[in-house]
Amino acid sequence: MQDYKFLKDINFPSDLKKLSESDLKTLSDELREEMINVVSETGGHLGAGLGVVELTVALHYVFDTPNDKLIWDVGHQTYPHKILTGRKNKIRTLRQGNGLSGFTKRSESEYDPFGAAHSSTSISSALGIAEANKLSNKSNNVVAVIGDGAISAGMAYEAMNNAGASKAKMIVILNDNDMSIAKPVGAMRTYLARLLSGKIYFSLRETFRLIVSAFSKRFSAKAGKAEDFLRSAVTGGTLFNSLGFYYIGPIDGHDLDALLPILKNARDSKHNGPIMIHVKTKKGKGYSYAEKANDHYHGVSKFNVETGEQVKSSTNLPAYTKVFANTLVKHAQKDSKIVGITAAMPSGTGMDIFAKEFPKRMFDVGIAEQHAVTFAAGLATEGFKPYAAIYSTFLQRAYDQVVHDVAIQSLPVRFAIDRAGLVGADGSTHAGSFDITYLSTLPNFVVMAASDESELVKMINTSIDINDRPSAIRYPRGTGIGLELPSIEEKVEIGKGRIIQEGKKVCILSLGTRLEECKNAAEELKNKGIIPTIIDVRFVKPLDEELILRFARTHEIMITVEEGSIGGFGSHVKNLLAEKGIFDKGLKFRSMTLPDIFIEQDSPKKMYDVAGLNAKQISKKILDILFMQDSIKVVKN
């Protein structure tokens, strides 16, 4: 750490409170500089944190954290918060194995009262804490900071509606930077912009206050009522007021002279109900390269602070996300019924590529996965071919819609499930661990998992013609293995796997991109005189029952390998074998899945080592079964 004037002595918010208000501007500048230096070394989320530096300083200066609860939404903007709350000396371990999480995390610090790596949870959790305070007769403040992108989600409105009716004591800070991961979309963004343009209201309000202050204090009560009248007359009322919040703002979130007194007033207010403070900030504030970038350096790799140049990947291998997007574009050029849908992740899902070619056929619905799925279902009823490109971890948020609105009606919505499996630095909150299980239980659903980029293209080609039921294709974050991509005419037969190599005694059923590890395991086993059969099953649903049963009857051992949780592909195979009486004939069966734990952040390779799904662990599992089997034979003899 550099020899900062103030930051070097700040370890906790209690240290921060020793400074004068006039010193906080310098501290904010130092905090911003430190954050830029840190993320240049670690990579991670930069723009959002730069935008809330002054807000973070002001909140910890005014409120008594951790006794007062400060909840962030989303947690990727909390690097400045972490530096000020006892984690300064570990900040360069961000997003690394055994290091600090890139999000808020309850187990990491008492200053993180609620974990937040998915958006739009802050108002709900804050209300829960506020109601708990009421029940416990506590007077602690509860503050939720939510972004303008996160507040577009339905859950935030559900929470605001509940909070306004409850009259709970809580403060919501709307951090409006007019720039979530992608440009905020929808009526909410327009509403906020219209609110910001109403400067006449704020100038009139200040004028009115000046007039009132010149008269006796006996007018103060009437002044409050008059201000409410003025607020209503000039702005026509606000959505937040209608929901039961006392609305204040918008305020310059980088102006400490404005922030501090307003936060103090909110803290000390006797207002009976929730307060909404609308703060206007600039994403990427204070770092010119971030300010100029289209995404304001939302997520970055390591970079040169002086030039802003990010370290580029040295690989020439194709990224799965781009393979999906480019293949879909080729089909859409021939088929006008194909449309793309994303929930505020156009670049993350590759839908930005689709949007450039077909701007009228790509729909970014904002952070609203539930709506995205049912919206896709509506399109499907009218003969369109919707592709809902959503991260596995975010699709979890729309499971009821997948079941009720899509599966039950057998609507041909096509789900492109990005970030399937373990994802590395974002950790357990972003891992795509459960989609195999939660989709393969649904009747009449086609669930595919690509083992490489070539297979992904073929599966997309196949999905184009699945018009009688929903389908899903899962694929991981990262790059393929360097295969030549097939044409858009090449398809796979629904419910049919492929034999990679045929051997004896041992059969490995692989689902997804662990196939390469299965091949490597086979090489290790070959050195011990064991030649296993390897099958890329391709489909969780429908299962290739004929192929699986054929090899189950001709092999002594069968093992399934998948990048998903317990209850997925292996469970379906086990159920099939049990129903067909295969176990009665002596087949030894094992299922290798992600373990029944949440695996912490690290490199994907190390995470899969922890999961027990690398080549050595696969071969060891097989050898252990063989050794046990041979031992049983010796005992019997």
DSSP-assigned letters across all residues of 531-578? --EEEE--EEES--HHHHHHHHHH-SEEEEEESS-TTSHHHHHHHHHH
The yes-or-no answer to whether 7-300 and 320-474 have a common fold is yes
Cβ contact 554:546 at 8 Å: no
- Report the alpha-carbon distance of residue 369 to residue 377 in Å, rounded: 12
Lookup: tokens for 537:
């099953």
**Main-chain dihedrals φ then ψ at residue 284, nearest 5 degrees:** 80, 10
Contacts of 342 (CB under 8 A, 6+ apart): 349, 351, 362, 363, 364, 365, 372, 388, 389, 390
The CATH class of the 320-474 domain is alpha beta
- Report the alpha-carbon distance of residue 86 to residue 360 in Å, rounded: 49
Q: Tens digits of per-residue pLDDT, 524-577?
A: 999 999 999 999 999 999 999 999 999 999 999 999 999 999 999 999 999 999
| Residue 234 confidence (pLDDT) above 60 | no
In this predicted structure, what is the pLDDT of residue 228?
Answer: 53
In this predicted structure, what is the pLDDT of residue 181?
Answer: 43
In this predicted structure, what is the pLDDT of residue 239?
Answer: 81
Across 295-299, 349-353, 560-564, least confident range: 295-299
Burial profile 454-477: b = 16 or more Cβ within 10 angstroms, e = fewer: bbbbbbbbbbbebeebbbbbbbbb
- Sign for the CA dihedral angle at 208, 213, 215, 216 comes to positive
**Main-chain dihedrals φ then ψ at residue 145, nearest 5 degrees:** -110, 120
Of residues 87, 280, 283, 458, which has the active-site annotation? 283
C-alpha distance from residue 247 to each of 54, 239, 558 (Å): 21, 9, 63
Lookup: tokens for 143:
């503050």
Contacts of 95 (CB under 8 A, 6+ apart): 42, 43, 44, 101, 102, 425, 426, 427, 601
| Residue 250 confidence (pLDDT) above 90 | no
Cβ contact 561:514 at 8 Å: yes
Cβ contact 406:366 at 8 Å: no
Neighbours of 154 (CB within 10 A): 15
Ranges of each domain in the chain: 7-300, 320-474, 498-636
Q: Dihedral angle at the C-alpha atoms of 471, 474, 475, 481, nearest 10 degrees?
A: -70
631 CB-contact burial (10 Å; exposed 0-12 / middle 13-18 / buried 19+)? exposed
Q: How confident is the model at residue 605 (pLDDT cuts 50, 70, 90)?
A: very high
Active site residue 369: yes
3-state DSSP assignment of residue 613: coil
- Sign for the CA dihedral angle at 323, 324, 327, 333 comes to negative
In 3D space, the residue among 424, 499, 430, 486 whose CA is nearest the CA of residue 453 turns out to be 486
C-alpha distance from residue 618 to each of 99, 522, 551, 630 (Å): 28, 9, 19, 19
Active site residue 502: no
| Residue 359 confidence (pLDDT) above 90 | yes
- Report the alpha-carbon distance of residue 118 to residue 592 in Å, rounded: 28
In this predicted structure, what is the pLDDT of residue 400?
Answer: 97
Q: Give the mean pLDDT of 88-117.
A: 95
**Statement: 498-636 belongs to CATH 3.40.50.920:** yes
Of residues 397, 474, 541, 621, which has the active-site annotation? 397
In this predicted structure, what is the pLDDT of residue 191?
Answer: 54
3-state DSSP assignment of residue 173: strand
In 3D space, the residue among 262, 125, 120 whose CA is nearest the CA of residue 202 turns out to be 262
Q: Tens digits of per-residue pLDDT, 461-485?
A: 999 999 999 999 999 999 999 999 9
In this predicted structure, what is the pLDDT of residue 608?
Answer: 97
User: Which CATH number is associated with domain 7-300?
Assistant: 3.40.50.970
* Look-up of token digits 């049912």: 374
DSSP string, 366-417: -S-HHHHHHHHHHHHHTT-EEEEEEEHHHHGGGHHHIIIIIITTT---EEEE
Angle at 564 between CA 459 and CA 118, to 5 degrees: 95
- Report the alpha-carbon distance of residue 578 to residue 584 in Å, rounded: 8
Cβ contact 131:168 at 8 Å: yes
Of residues 34, 369, 453, 517, which has the active-site annotation? 369
Cβ contact 600:616 at 8 Å: no
- Report the alpha-carbon distance of residue 34 to residue 84 in Å, rounded: 11
Q: Percent of the chain having pLDDT more than 70?
A: 89
- Report the alpha-carbon distance of residue 243 to residue 246 in Å, rounded: 9
Active site residue 134: no
pTM greater than 0.75:
yes
Q: Tens digits of per-residue pLDDT, 488-519?
A: 999 999 999 999 999 999 999 999 999 999 99
Angle at 316 between CA 561 and CA 483, to 5 degrees: 50
* Look-up of token digits 């020439």: 316
| Residue 208 confidence (pLDDT) above 80 | no
- Report the alpha-carbon distance of residue 184 to residue 258 in Å, rounded: 26
- Report the alpha-carbon distance of residue 228 to residue 373 in Å, rounded: 41
- Report the alpha-carbon distance of residue 127 to residue 557 in Å, rounded: 54
Lookup: tokens for 175:
């951090």
Q: Tens digits of per-residue pLDDT, 511-534?
A: 999 999 999 999 999 999 999 999
User: How high does pLDDT run on average in the chain?
Assistant: 90
**Main-chain dihedrals φ then ψ at residue 630, nearest 5 degrees:** -65, -35
Side-chain-side CA neighbours of residue 405 (13 Å): 19
Q: What's the one-letter identity of residue 337?
A: K
Lookup: tokens for 419:
């970030």
